[in-house]
């Protein structure tokens, strides 16, 4: 288990399904630091320490933002950091990492993912199990790489973009900010900002608003 909680434990922002999933993973990883609880603006309960902006920040703990949407993860991470919370990093021990990803604020790497050499990883990036990130890839802030997705060497994935399961981004392709690559898509040319692409080869099927 690799993380930067230094024994002080985690606070998870987001008490929904993904937050509970991260808590479960922390429970099975050997040597994981304790989870003090959740902060959430909607869900209440004994395990919820308070709202994101209203709870008493635990200065020694590390915070992980457990939201599926990259723009939301990044926004909540910035709100927490503004209040003095320290964003932690979660790196699953069964993954393969040729780049040191253990000190990226808010980043989460789950399951048997693979991250090759000289990869640039931004804040609050999520890489899920069995995803493969090639050499010299850039993952900007808030990027989501879903299970079994493949990103070829030298590709550049823009801020808050999402690569859905089993999608393939070929080498040196640029995926724009806020773009969505649909499940199973094969991306053979650059993707503009704020669009959704799908298919093989991937084509634009929707234009989205800015984050």
**Edge-first strand listing for the sheet containing 126-127:** 2-3, 90-91, 108-109, 126-127, 144-145, 162-163, 180-181, 195-198, 203-207
pLDDT attached to residue 3: 52
Across 17-23, average pLDDT = 94
Query: Would you call 93 exposed, middle or buried from its count of C-beta atoms within 10 A (0-12, 13-18, 19+)?
Result: middle
pLDDT given at position 34 = 87
Q: Note the pLDDT of residue 7.
A: 59
The full DSSP string for 137-150 is -EE-TT-EE-TT-E
What pLDDT, on the 0 to 100 scale, is given for residue 32?
64
User: Which two tokens mark 207?
Assistant: 């234009």
Closest CA to 64 of 131, 101, 15, 7: 15
For the chain, the distance separating the N- and C-terminal CA atoms, rounded to the nearest angstrom, is: 33
Lowest mean pLDDT among 4-13, 22-31, 41-50: 4-13
- Residue 46's pLDDT is 74
Residue 5, pLDDT score: 47
Which pLDDT score is estimated for 209? 77
- Helix ranges restricted to H, the chain: 17-28, 70-82
pLDDT in tens, 80-106: 999 999 999 999 999 999 999 999 999
CB 123 within 8 A of CB 140: no
Whose tokens are 């927490």? That residue is 80
pLDDT of residue 76: 98
More confident residue, 209 or 97: 97
For residue 1, pLDDT over 50 is answered with no
- Bridge partners of residue 91, in order along the sequence: 2, 109
Characterize the bridge pairing of strands 86-87 and 96-97.
unpaired
More confident call, 8 vs 153? 153
How confident is the model at residue 10, as a pLDDT? 94
Average pLDDT, the chain: 94
How far apart are the C-alpha atoms of 162 and 111, rounded to whole Å?
Answer: 18
Domains of the chain: 2-88 (3.40.50.20), 90-211 (2.160.10.10)
How much is the pTM?
0.93
Task: At 96, give phi and psi (nearest 5°).
Answer: -115, 125
pLDDT tens sequence across 27-57: 887 566 789 999 999 987 879 999 999 999 9
pLDDT score recorded for residue 166? 99
Average pLDDT over residues 192-203: 98
pLDDT band, residue 8 (cuts 50/70/90)? confident
Cα 202 to Cα 152: distance, rounded to the nearest angstrom: 15
């Amino acid at each position: 288990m690799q993380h930067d909680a230094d024994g002080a434990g985690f606070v998870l922002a987001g008490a929904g399904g993904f937050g509970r999933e991260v808590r479960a993973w922390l429970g099975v990883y050997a040597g994981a630091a304790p989870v003090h609880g959740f902060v959430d603006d909607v869900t209440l309960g004994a395990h919820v320490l308070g709202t994101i902006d209203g709870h008493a920040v635990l200065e020694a703990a590390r915070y992980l933002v457990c939201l599926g949407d990259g723009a939301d993860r990044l926004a909540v991470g910035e709100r927490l950091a503004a209040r003095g919370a320290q964003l932690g990093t979660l790196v699953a021990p069964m993954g393969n990492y040729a780049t040191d990803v253990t000190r990226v604020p808010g980043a989460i790497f789950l399951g048997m993912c693979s991250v090759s050499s000289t990869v640039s990883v931004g804040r609050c990036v999520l890489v899920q199990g069995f995803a493969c990130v090639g050499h010299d890839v850039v993952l900007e802030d808030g990027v989501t790489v879903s299970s079994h997705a493949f990103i070829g060497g030298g590709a550049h994935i823009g801020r808050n973009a999402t690569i859905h399961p089993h999608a393939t981004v070929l080498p040196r392709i640029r995926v724009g900010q806020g773009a969505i690559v649909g499940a199973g898509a094969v991306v053979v040319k650059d993707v503009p900002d704020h669009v959704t692409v799908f298919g093989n080869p991937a084509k634009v099927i929707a234009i989205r608003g800015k984050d």
